[in-house]
Amino acid sequence: MFMLIIPAIDIKDGKCVRLTRGDFSQKKIYLDNPNDMAIIWRKQNAKMLHIVDLDAALTGEMVNFEKIKEIVVNLDIPVQVGGGIRSVDAVKKYLDIGVARVVIGSAAVTNPLLVEELLKIYRPSQVVVGIDAEHGVPKIKGWLESSNLKDYELALQMKNMGIERVIYTDITRDGMMQGFGYESTKRFAEKAGMKITASGGVTNAQDMKKLNELKPFGVDSVVIGKALYECNFPCQELWYNFEEGMSLDHNFSTARKK
């Protein structure tokens, strides 16, 4: 059965990095230019990209906006962006450059009226909510603070406002390369009753098969980060070897998806 795989690009200090369980002290730099990483994923036939501005997640300022804009302009596939998006102006700025959908994280907890306001302006397909949970409790502001709601309670609140999709991350698994949180994701999906993009901990093809069992509960896509960067999927090494030195087809930079 088909499940959309969405490569993740996390940007910190302008570079493409991966964290372990969201810990900024456990940062590994993969490429100095995130746009180069985006090109690699596109060459490997990615149908969508997931980008997080880690600096913005901490400060609320769109620190890496120009880096993200470069990716969006150069690629012909949908890009979803999260990290520190806490105002209508920030959402507008991203959507105006061609971002397909924005991910509202901390603001869904601290300012739920923002979500309500956004859905009066934009389609539900353009605004999704990211719920990053640790043992069922949403974490916000770069995963440094806890919400007073359960993860599914937050999801139901957003659902009542008109949100149709949640990106759900089990923080305890994120970046650990030890498998995804099957039980936590299943529990959340059953209670939320929404379209769900899973995130955090998917490590190999066996995890993908297990994740596929959650499709009846609304899980139809997955964001994968470190496992892709570490080539945990067998065919990746072949792609790297055979595509070394290739550049994007010119049409990729001109056929923008609006």
Phi/psi zone of residue 218: left (φ > 0), alpha (ψ -120 to 50 degrees), beta?
Answer: left
If you count them, how many residues does the chain have?
Answer: 258
d(CA 43, CA 47): 10
First to last CA, the chain: 28
Angle among Cα 159, 9, 133 to the nearest 5 degrees reads: 40
Contact assessment for residue 151 and residue 196, using Cβ atoms and an 8 Å cutoff = no
Which contiguous run of DSSP H or E holds residue 128? Answer: strand 127-134
**Token duo for residue 68:** 């993200």
Strand segments, DSSP code E, in 70-228 are: 79-82, 101-104, 127-134, 137-140, 145-146, 165-170, 195-199, 219-224
**Token duo for residue 117:** 């306001």
Q: Which amino acid is at 222?
A: V
Contact assessment for residue 247 and residue 29, using Cβ atoms and an 8 Å cutoff = no
Q: Which of 132, 170, 174, 207 is catalytic?
A: 132
Nearest to 87 by CA among 130, 118, 58: 118
Active-site residue 132, yes or no? yes
Active-site residue 76, yes or no? no
User: What is the Cα 189 distance to its own chain's centre?
Assistant: 17
Q: Which of 10, 53, 55, 170 is catalytic?
A: 10
**Token duo for residue 149:** 């709601």
Active site residues: 10, 132
